[in-house]
Amino acid sequence: MSSIKDKIDLSRLPEHIAIIMDGNGRWAKEKGYPRVFGHKNGVKSVSVITEAAAELGIKYLTLYVFSTENWGRPLEEVNALMELLVDSIEKETVRLQKNNIRLMTIGDLNRLPEKVRNKLNECIRSTAGNTGLTLILALSYSSRWEILQAVKNITSDVQQKKINPDDITDELISSYMLTKHIPDPDLLIRTSGEIRISNFLLWQIAYSELYFTEKHWPAFRKEEFYKSIIDFQHRDRRFGK
């Protein structure tokens, strides 16, 4: 009996998959638990899906972990998330090394607690030489913030005559983004039934294929991940042509 994984064409994998991991709180509420319980179980899905992506040979996986808007959540929940993040990084570093996974981050990291930044930097340094999947965590990230920073930096370079306004192209703007060394996502997945982008990689997903699932993130496992890739492989990508 063949599994759904066997239906994936390994010669036509998306190079870069981005995921909006939604539904931790709703999943916990449905089970009668506090939101933090959902976040803890969401970490399990991160491990499972990262491992699945690495096994298939996906080159880049970007996870929307914490948005700039999330700072507006109750302080107790934010603090719990930060502690969970530190704990998860400590536990996952060994797994990342074992699976030849490189860690990167994008976002306004200066807003993160020093303890979180230190743990992240340790993991980034220790996995820098890995050559398999690149796992990108979007932390304290919003796309409008990223685009605003790019505009400010371009304006500054124009004023300093490092670039000519007539030379500003799509490619030049992309080179000022935090993702300048990462290809744009081929596939964007959002869990938990919400059909919106929520300020995530707005510049980069211009021609990404979108996949929405009713599954809450803590319940999102390999089979649903494989389904999203199979769905992607049935799309006719025209890139506006």
Please report which helix (H) or strand (E) contains residue 103, including its range. Answer: strand 102-106
Of the candidates 61, 56, 127, which has an alpha carbon nearest to the alpha carbon of residue 97?
A: 127
Angstrom distance (rounded) from CA 193 to CA 205: 19
Report which DSSP code applies to 101: P
Please report which helix (H) or strand (E) contains residue 122, including its range. Answer: helix 114-127
The catalytic residue among 9, 24, 70, 184 is 70
Angstrom distance (rounded) from CA 180 to CA 168: 15
The catalytic residue among 6, 9, 22, 164 is 22
108 is catalytic: no
- How many alpha carbons lie under 13 Å from residue 195 in its C-beta half-sphere? 3
Beta bridge partners of 60: 16, 134
Report which DSSP code applies to 177: S
22 is catalytic: yes
Of the candidates 67, 63, 29, 60, which has an alpha carbon nearest to the alpha carbon of residue 45?
A: 63
Residues designated as active site: 22, 70
